[in-house]
Each structure stands twice: as C-alpha cells, then as structure tokens.
Amino acid sequence: MPEVLSGLKDALKKFLGSTSPYEKSVEEFVKDLQRTLIKSDVNVKLVFELSKRIRERALKEKPPAGASRRDWFVKIVYEELVRLFGGEEAPSVIPSKKPYVIMLVGVQGSGKTTTAGKLAHYYRNRKFKVGLVQTDTHRPAAYDQLRQLAEQVGALFYGDPGERDPVKITREGIRQLASQGAEVIIVDTAGRHGYGEEESLMEEMRRIADAVKPDEVILVLDAGIGQKARDLARRFHEAAPIGSIIITKLDGTAKGGGALSAVAETGARIKFVGTGEKVGELEVFQPTRFVGRLLGMGDIQGLLERLEALEEAGDLEKNVEEMLSGRLDMRVIYRQLRQIRKLGPLSKVLSMLPGYGIQLPEDPEGAKIGEEKMDRWMAIIQSMTPEEMEKPELIEREKTRLRRIAYGSGTSPEDVKELLTYYLHLKRMMKQLKRKKKLLKKLQLDQQWPA
C-alpha cells in the first residue's frame, strides 16, 4: 500500500496516547482525521458526514463492561471508515451467469487495458474460460496491446483492426467468444477521443452499453485522479450505469482519496484495486482489510478482538441471567457451547463478568472441554427431540433414546452420557449460583437499610 491516507495511523496513535480528557481527545482526533482525508482528496462533504457520525457515536455510546471509552472509540472509527469504503462485507466477484459480460470504462490512461488483462488472469486462475474484446478504434496500438495480454494469460481474444464501429466490434466479439465457450467476457473500451472530446467518448460508451447490455460496467479510476473523481464518475454513470469500480495504481504515490470516495457518488462498490503493472497485481478490495492497514492493523487487531469478546461476554451475561431465572435445558447448553467456543471455558467467562465477582465452584469438566468435544456435543443436542432437549433426564432413563441419539449424531453412547453428566453438573452449579446471588441481593438490601 502506498502513502494513501497515511496520517490516520499517526492520528490514532496520538489519540490513544493522549492525556487530555476524552471529549477533547475525540475533538483532536476528528480534526486530524479531517485534515488527513481532505489532504488525500476525499470529498469534503463525505469527510464532514463521517466526522459527524464519529463524533456523535463517540459521545453517545457506552463501551461494554471491561472496555474503556478510548478503546471503544477505536472501534467506532474503524467501523465508520469501513462503512465509508464500502462496508463490512467483501464484494462478490463471482460471475452470476454465463457468459458474464464485463465492460470496462474510464478516461485515457486510467489503466483499462492493463486491468482487462489482470481480470482475465484473475478469472483464468479460478478456472473460468475468459475472452477479451478490444473495441478501442482510436488508439492504433490498443489492438496489439490487448491481444498480447490475452495470449500471456491464456484468454480468448477478439478484435477487428479493419472495423471502425466499436458497437459492431463489441456485438461480434461477444457473439464469437460466447460461441467459443467463454464464461467471462471482458470488453475493453477507448479512453482517448482527442482533446476536449469527452462528450463523444461518453456517447460511445452509451452506444456500446445500450447495444450489448453488459452484465456489469466497471469504472476504472486512476488512484491519482483526485477531486475530479466524483464528477467523472457521475458523467460515466449517466452514460453507462456503473456497477462497480476498480482503482488502479494504488501502488504509486497518489493520494487515492478521490478515487476511493467515488464509491459514494455512484453507489457502486470498489471491487478490485490494481497495485502494479504486472497481470498478477490485482487484489479484491476488502474494506475491513484496507481500513485495518490504514489504521495499523497490527496495532488495533488485538484491541478489536478484545472488544468483540467483551461484547459477546455481555451477551453471555444476559444468557446466564436468563439461565438463572429460567430452567436449564439442552437448548440453553447448546447456545452456551456456541458462545463458549469463541470465548473460553464458562468459569473463566463468568469471572470476567462484572456482575459475578463470585468465582464459580471449580469446574473441572468445563475447563477441559476442547473444541472437538464441543462440536460433538452440539451435534448430539441437534439429534435430540424437542422433548429430550427440554427434559434431558428422559435420555438417562431410556436406553433406546441414548442409542438413537448417539447413532443420529455419529457419536458413541459414552459421548452422550458424558454430555448428560455435564448437564447435571451445570445444573448443580446453577443452583449454587442462584443461592449465592440471592444471598448477595439480600446483603445489598441489608446495606441499604442499616440497622
């Protein structure tokens, strides 16, 4: 990654190390954030919307028990940046039909032809039969450039140096490549129309898109485009509805922010980023990874994981409360197993919870449950009837049930017995815990009403 938005890491470091009061540190961070983003050409309006959301959340949200507001703030910043750059989920790059026709558009030199080669390489590596079509009739060398790339990556190729009409070439290209079995067809287009002839370029894109109705139009943007990105994205979008964006030359020294925030203008997602001139230098754009790198993932990864665990622990606390107030059955155990698999043994988790200063009675079984065993137990519970889940004692009483469950879950009767033992053990523990809680409540009441 280049120097894109490199100030963010420092701003965050400063925030975490600051001794100012929380509110003041937040303000300082937001200022630093704005400065960095604007300097990197991120659209000003976006920057202000982002700062507003971060500020609001920072002042309103309560961190889960065990986390500081400062830690929680890091998570807020991380989440809001991820949202700015496209959201939690990585974009889908799997073609939804065959043949899947992709049309690349973009201004001169943005990297369309190179990217066509890279995409072909990407899909070839994933065992797709790929075809490339050259429709650029304006630049004489374009034909050979793409033909050579096709050869290099093992893709089919169509072009017609004698034909002047790009619409005809596109139609014929798609027809021929499809009949040769191409599953992904990538249409490269012109970027050059002579000086001041952007209108005719847009017109050409509109004509091609109207004629062949590509499954996806991808706007190729040079990372260095700056603030112009928005306007440009809008104009292309009007000519041929942009489905997604590829940002090229993110390996350079460009600021990148302009291109990165073109996302917001078109509503299209960034799917790939180009990080070099070679065909292999294309990456699926993953906002979480990208933002992680911007903020110094090495530094914040642990923090984010801990916060997530604390949030889960909060959920578990609710779960325990529910268990204490209700009945323990196999459904409850199932839910817990799922959570414990993420967090660690129940006794450890409970001791983490603020409301349970009480240490659980020693829990030798619980401490020993490995992941494999938990998976086995979860399978066992899934093989129980609703009745058995609610009254596990039934299984103890009737041996046929025990055998049926073991068989159904691909485990042994010993495994099922072991789970039943755990259930009884947990039930005893819960009784003790309930008593202690009652006692604690009584003590607290006593303190409120001193004699």
Ligand X SMILES: Nc1nc2c(ncn2[C@@H]2O[C@H](COP(=O)(O)OP(=O)(O)OP(=O)(O)O)[C@@H](O)[C@H]2O)c(=O)[nH]1
Residues that bind ligand X (CB under 6 A): 106, 108-114, 136, 139, 142, 191-192, 248-249, 251-252, 274-277, 281
Residue 214 contact among Mg ion, ligand X, none, beta carbon within 5 to 8 Å by kind: none
Nearest to 428 by CA among 343, 378, 365, 339: 365
Q: Toward ligand X, which CB reaches closer, 7 or 252?
A: 252
Please report how close the Cβ of residue 292 comes to ligand X at its closest, in angstroms.
21
Please report how close the Cβ of residue 113 comes to Mg ion at its closest, in angstroms.
3
Q: Toward ligand X, which CB reaches closer, 98 or 278?
A: 278
Based on the shown chain and the rule CB under 5 A, indicate whether residue 51 belongs to the binding site for Mg ion.
no
Across-strand partners of 130?
184
Give the DSSP letter string of 390-437: H-THHHHH-HHHHHHHHHHHT--HHHHHHHHHHHHHHHHHHHHHHHHH
Nearest to 104 by CA among 51, 146, 73: 146
Q: Toward Mg ion, which CB reaches closer, 113 or 266?
A: 113
Region from 28-36, 113-121, 332-340, 415-423 binding Mg ion, contact rule CB under 5 A: 113-121
Please report how close the Cβ of residue 245 comes to ligand X at its closest, in angstroms.
14
Q: Toward ligand X, which CB reaches closer, 106 or 257?
A: 106
* Cβ atoms of 153 and 120 closer than 8 Å: yes
Residue 252 contact among ligand X, Mg ion, none, beta carbon within 5 to 8 Å by kind: ligand X
* Cβ atoms of 436 and 323 closer than 8 Å: no
Distance (Å, whole) CA 206 – CA 79: 37
Residue 262 contact among Mg ion, ligand X, none, beta carbon within 5 to 8 Å by kind: none
The residue from 40, 110, 113, 134 that contacts Mg ion (CB under 5 A) is 113
Instruction: For residue 64, say if its preceding peptide bond is cis, omega within 30 degrees of 0.
Output: no
Helix (H, G, I), strand (E, B) or coil at 348: helix
Distance (Å, whole) CA 156 – CA 186: 10
Radius of gyration over every alpha carbon of the chain, rounded to an integer in angstroms:
30
Q: Toward ligand X, which CB reaches closer, 204 or 317?
A: 204
Please report how close the Cβ of residue 273 comes to ligand X at its closest, in angstroms.
8
The vertex-229 CA angle with 224 and 230, nearest 5°, equals 155
Q: Toward ligand X, which CB reaches closer, 108 or 227?
A: 108
Please report how close the Cβ of residue 90 comes to ligand X at its closest, in angstroms.
19
For the chain, the straight-line distance linking the first and the last C-alpha, in angstroms and rounded, comes to 68
Nearest residue to ligand X, using CB? 191
Please report how close the Cβ of residue 186 comes to Mg ion at its closest, in angstroms.
12
Distance (Å, whole) CA 218 – CA 283: 15
Distance (Å, whole) CA 236 – CA 227: 15
Length of the chain as a residue count: 451
Residue 58 contact among ligand X, Mg ion, none, beta carbon within 5 to 8 Å by kind: none
Residue 216 contact among ligand X, Mg ion, none, beta carbon within 5 to 8 Å by kind: none
Residue 248 contact among ligand X, Mg ion, none, beta carbon within 5 to 8 Å by kind: ligand X
In the numeric block, the tokens 């976006």 are attached to 46
Based on the shown chain and the rule CB under 5 A, indicate whether residue 248 belongs to the binding site for Mg ion.
no
Q: Toward ligand X, which CB reaches closer, 192 or 425?
A: 192
* Cβ atoms of 355 and 317 closer than 8 Å: yes
Residue 192 contact among ligand X, Mg ion, none, beta carbon within 5 to 8 Å by kind: ligand X
Residue 25 contact among ligand X, Mg ion, none, beta carbon within 5 to 8 Å by kind: none
Based on the shown chain and the rule CB under 5 A, indicate whether residue 134 belongs to the binding site for Mg ion.
no
307 residue type, one letter? L
Compute how many residues bind Mg ion; rule: CB under 5 A: 2
Q: What does the binding site for Mg ion look like in residue numbers (CB under 5 A)?
A: 112-113
